[in-house]
Amino acid sequence: MSQHQALNKLGRSGNPIIRSAAFQDKVSSSEEKMSLEGAVNKTSIMLFLTVITATISWNFQGPLMSIVSAIGALAGFVSGIMTFGFYFFFVGWIVKPRPHNAPRTAPIYAVGMGFIIGIISQQAESFYPGIVIQAVSLTFFVATSLLLAYKTGFIKPTQNFMLMIFAATMGIFLTYIVSLIFSLFTGNHFLIITGNGNMSILFSVVVVCIAALNLVLDFDIIEQSAEQGAPKYMEWFGAMALMATLIWLYIEILRLLMKLRSR
């Protein structure tokens, strides 16, 4: 009998109290762990909530819906910050990430973003019929392609990959913020963001690529957290991160298609 086998057979306590306590502890700790299946279910719930609220805001346009959508967007934004934190260049974390808030904030985020997506999609559809179906389909096509590339190991997210994507994402958001401030003071927008020229389309393509590559990081968060037996709330956190990226990707694809069809 090897030493390991001997420990297994003889080293365990025969005391029924100790044995039952150890067993209960093992069961309770396994119950609280995250699983891939759980993360998928939570993503489905969030997607369902987003689609429901997007349908409501699409069909019931008016001043009341505008107020509800504004409140929803604000609630979504606040719940996003409460979960993912808020980072700014040269300053660091202004609000630290709090993943344990995700079970409460994720449904609020999904509902809030649904209202905004509904309004944006309805506006886009009124100008260019059929554009929403095309954008939704392309979003899922891009997401599935990247998921396949990730699962098979074709794309391997490393520390450098993450830093590049993070820097590029922050750069894009900084450009959007500067553009927003510029438009508030001058009334004009950056043509590279709102125009339909070649440079503007190239910018949109780059933004779509960055948004799509952010999905790889989300897949890695979900995969690794499940592997390491992270707490159950990480299922909501992973689902929320995935949904946030999918929503961003959808809006950018919609914007790109609008630019292409307006030429």
Residues that bind other proteins (CB under 8 A): 36-37, 39-40, 43-44, 96-100, 130, 133-134, 136-141, 143-144, 147-148, 150-153, 156-159, 161-162, 217, 219-225, 227-228, 230-231, 233-234, 237
CB closer to other proteins out of 203 and 233: 233
CB closer to other proteins out of 73 and 162: 162
Task: With beta carbons less than 8 A apart as the criterion, state whether 223 and 34 touch.
Answer: no
Structure tokens at 26: 């093992």
User: At its nearest, how many Å lie between other proteins and the CB of residue 16?
Assistant: 21
User: At its nearest, how many Å lie between other proteins and the CB of residue 72?
Assistant: 24
CB closer to other proteins out of 115 and 250: 250
- Name the one residue in this structure whose structure tokens are 């919609």: 254
Q: How far is Cα 258 from Cα 251, in angstroms, rounded to an integer?
A: 10
Q: How far is Cα 126 from Cα 123, in angstroms, rounded to an integer?
A: 5
CB closer to other proteins out of 57 and 225: 225
CB closer to other proteins out of 39 and 172: 39
User: At its nearest, how many Å lie between other proteins and the CB of residue 71?
Assistant: 29
User: At its nearest, how many Å lie between other proteins and the CB of residue 67?
Assistant: 32
Nearest by Cα to 210 from 176, 236, 259, 261: 176
User: At its nearest, how many Å lie between other proteins and the CB of residue 226?
Assistant: 8
Residue 22: which H helix or E strand, with range? helix 16-31
Catalogue the long-range contacts made by 65-68 (C-beta closer than 8 Å, 24 or more residues apart). Answer: 65/115, 65/119, 66/119, 68/115
